[in-house]
Structure 1
Amino acid sequence: MENRLQIIAESYNRSIEFGRQGINLYEKLPDYIINDPDFPAYQKLNLSGELSGSEIKEIYNYLLPNKNMKFIDLGCCLNLRFKGYDKWPSTYYGIDISSKTIELLTEFATANNLQIGSLHCGSIHKMPFKDNMFDIGACIGVLEYFEKDYVAKAIVEAHRVIKPYGKFVLDIPNLGTPVCRIMMLIEEHMGRTDKFNMSPQEFEELIQGYFEIEKAIEVDSGGMIEYYLRCKK
């Protein structure tokens, strides 16, 4: 597991370093991906802005953040900077395995005088937060990198830090769909191959002891499935 986490961290660190140089690696995809018959469908989503991930309105409307809430962003990537979380009234906490990501977010928060909780470099399966600390949370674009054993540990840990009846949104790959297949090819090219190996039914069985599923929707034209959850305690 530690080796897997290191691979993902190094890949995102590399992406951050290229980004600081003005290089977007997603704009330099190899021919075998660009010429794939399913790539136009993925590209159409990109051009339309539908590959929105954690910025989609449904997440905000479900979590309903307010100034008295603490929000935990699991595998936060650059959501605080690019996905609108800096505009949320709740207090932001982020955790990510990439040290360069946390470094960049710290710079962003400081430069913009953001009043946030904390930013932590680490894995979401073992977090430095107290039990029942967060009112709301999200984990978008993260679980796809891991097999069932790690996913199970991450779910247990998310359950630990979220308050009773707290709301939590996460997503998983919708394996077998054309858009998901292209997403997985791209992530493999980036050096962080997706390892998720569960059907939606298997995943739902995994989380049922920890979270109540209030709704599940396909996003990114079926490439991912988002779950809107209520924490059981």
Structure 2
Amino acid sequence: MKNINSHLKAIAQSYDRAIELGRNGINSYNNLPEYLKKDPDYINFQTARENGLDSDSGRIEIKAFLSPAVNAKFVDLGCCLNLMFNGYDQWPSTYYGVDISTETIKLLREFSEKKRLRVGKLHCGSIHETPFEDNYFDIGACIGVLEYYEKAFVREVLIEIHRILKPYSKFVLDIPDNAGKMHHFMNLVETSMGRPDKFDMSIEEFEEILFDFFEIEKKEKIDAVSMVQYFLKRKA
């Protein structure tokens, strides 16, 4: 992928701005440009948000599949604020978060200290190069992240995920369904915030790469946001 460093920087800055706005009580998704509010798919987008379907990080299916346990180490790649808003702070496993946004990691550290949470590490950096040892994690997730990247970088991310997971461990990730009804609108939303969707593969093309590293236990389409969620087992 060309200009990956500048693209990573743009994503980090976008999420930094979102955190800064959030600290001032402003939700970016509540303040979309007028041209998006006039889009025919805006009503569907709002309905999904009202019903809690706009984010798939907090789905009960994730926790049920990963089965977090007291002695398990859980890595949340591209973690955003899952620890705060999607119930991950209630999991018995030890939480490790990785995010490219410095403001996100700063806020998570404040939250974990205030709540006195047992956190393994909160690391600011790209998910294709993490500071963890080989075969370190028991379970993990990467939700709402891969849509920002092209094929070559996505493969690098999958290689890194495979490296830091234990053999046969469980992992959940998602990708955009480029043929989905809401994909175009969701991309417009993200582009308006400075982080356009760069994902350049069909589901079939992505799965060709995925099979090198993981077995698919199941997959589910999240039609409200045109995403496909994969429930995986790491190959040895």
Q: What TM-score range do you get, normalising by the shorter chain?
A: over 0.9
Structure 2: where are the runs of 5+ without partners?
Answer: none
What amino acid sits opposite 1:92 in the alignment?
Y
Q: Take 2:76 and 2:97, find their aligned partners in 1: how far apart are those partners?
A: 5
User: Equivalent residues in 2 for 1:108-123 (5 A)?
Assistant: 108-123=111-126
Cα deviation for residue 40 of structure 1 reads 1.4
Give the whole-Å Cα distance in 2 for the aligned partners of 1:11 and 1:107: 20
Paired with 1:146 and 1:85, the residues of 2 have a C-alpha distance of: 25
AA aligned to 1:81 is: M
For the residue of structure 2 that corresponds to 1:76, the secondary structure is coil
Q: Is the 8 A contact 1:54 1:79 kept in 2?
A: yes
One-letter amino acid matched to 1:71: F
Alignment check: 8 A CA contact 2:146 2:175 kept? yes
Aligned to 1:54: 57
Of stretches 17-26 and 65-74 in structure 1, the one that deviates more from structure 2 is: 17-26
Q: Distance in 2 between matches of 1:77 and 1:174?
A: 21
Q: Residue 170 of structure 1 is aligned with which of 162, 170, 173? A: 173
Partner of 1:80: 83
Residue matched to 1:25: 28
Gaps of 5+ in 1: none
> Which residue number in structure 2 is paired with residue 100 of structure 1?
103
How far residue 47 of structure 1 moved from its aligned partner, in angstroms, is 1.1
Deviates more, 1:35-44 or 1:19-28: 35-44
CA distance in 1, matches of 2:225, 2:6: 30
Q: Of 61, 64, 68, which aligns to 2:67?
A: 64
Secondary structure of the structure 2 residue equivalent to 1:125 = coil
Post-superposition CA distance 1:35-92 (Å, at most 9, x none): 1112211211111112231110110110000101000000000110011100000000
Aligned AA (2:158): I
TM norm structure 2: 0.97
Q: What is the root-mean-square deviation in Å for CA atoms of aligned residues?
A: 0.9
| Partner Cα distance (1:228, 1:126) in 2 | 22
Letter in 2 for 1:160: R
Aligned pairs, number: 233
Q: Aligned equivalents of 2:87 and 2:185: distance in 1?
A: 26
Among 119, 130, 133, the alignment partner of 2:133 is 130
Contact 1:72–1:93 (Cα < 8 Å) also in 2: yes
Give the whole-Å Cα distance in 2 for the aligned partners of 1:181 and 1:66: 38
The equivalent residue for 1:217 is: 220
User: Identity, % of aligned pairs?
Assistant: 54
Partner residue, 1:198: 201
- State the TM-score, normalized to the length of structure 1: 0.98
